[in-house]
Homo-oligomer: A and B are copies of this chain.
Amino acid sequence: MAPNIRPISKKEIRQENEATILDAAEKVFAEAGFGGATMQLIADMAGLPKANLHYYFPTKEALYRQVVQNIFQVWLKAADVFDAADGPAEGIGAYIDAKMEISRRHPAGSKVWASEVMHRAPVIQDYLETTLMEWTDGRMAIIQRWIDAGLMDPIDPRHLLYMLWATTQHYADFGHQIETLNGGAALSDKQWAAAKASVNRIILQGINAKEV
């Protein structure tokens, strides 16, 4: 108990509280949607008085916006594995693995993103139009290069990407349905591995990806 008991500087307080609030907010927004979430609920989950939330985040929308932006960063970073690859089997395989892992470890974020997009992206429309579109164009170009090099069948890169997003995020967004169909239990390590393997196999064989 001696060490680490007194390092509560102002800066640390701020960082820690903001992180706590953002974590709680992500969960509540994921569970209840923006409209269904209440500041009181988030405050309770964060273990802070409601007025304290408004000290760090002026409005509910500001808090929500920060949550969505953080998620977006996580998603973009997951695509690094895509770029470093020599061919589709490696690149797409690694991307599937990375996104499945995010779905498993970060399901609330995925749900918030899905909810935001389903509601016509009132908060992050500009991100869709700029960053996401650029990212998509870049990845499509990579896939097209693989096709031109004869490393995979001539699949429309756009719809391949949509299928990758849809399939991997399904395990987060519809996790409750999957759990229910699994007898009410969360997927085990083995079941997650089977899911990953199935997705990998169907897609890589579906595009006829060649090993480099």
Q: Which of B37, B117, B206 contacts A206 (CB 8 A)?
A: B206
Tell me whether B198 and A156 are in contact (CB under 8 A).
yes
Q: Within 8 Å of chain B (Cβ to Cβ): is A173?
A: yes
A65 proximal to B (CB < 8 A): no
Contact A174-B166, Cβ < 8 Å, known A33-B33, A159-B194: yes
* A3 on interface, CB distance cutoff 8 Å: no
Chain A contact patch, size range: 35 or more
* In the complex, A85 has a CB within 8 A of chain B: no
Partner of A118, one of B133, B156, B176: B176
User: Taking the complex as formed, is A125 at the interface, i.e. its CB lies under 8 A from any CB of chain B?
Assistant: yes
Q: A11 at interface (Cβ–Cβ under 8 A)? A: no
For A120, give the chain B residue with the smallest CB separation: B176
- Quick one: CB contact mask for A150-168 with B, threshold 8 Å, 1 for yes? 0001011011101101110
Please give, as numbers and ranges, the residues of chain B lying within 8 Å of A206 by CB-CB distance.
Answer: 201-206
Nearest chain B CB to A130 CB, angstrom units: 10
The oligomer's copy count stands at 2
Chain B residues, Cβ within 8 Å of A142: none
Interface centre among A114, A133, A181 (most CB of B within 10 A): A181
Which residues of B have CB within 8 Å of A118? 30, 111, 114-115, 173-174, 176
Q: Is the interface of A mostly helix, strand, loop or mixed?
A: helix
Kindly identify which residue among B129, B153, B159, B181 contacts A199, using a CB–CB cutoff of 8 Å.
B159
30 contacts between A and B (CB under 8 A): A31-B119, A32-B119, A33-B33, A33-B34, A33-B36, A33-B119, A114-B114, A117-B176, A118-B174, A120-B176, A121-B177, A128-B177, A128-B180, A129-B180, A132-B180, A133-B181, A153-B201, A153-B205, A156-B194, A158-B181, A159-B195, A162-B178, A162-B195, A163-B198, A166-B170, A166-B174, A201-B206, A202-B203, A205-B206, A205-B207
Would you list the 5 A-B pairs with minimal beta carbon distance, nearest first? A35-B36, A206-B206, A166-B170, A35-B35, A202-B206
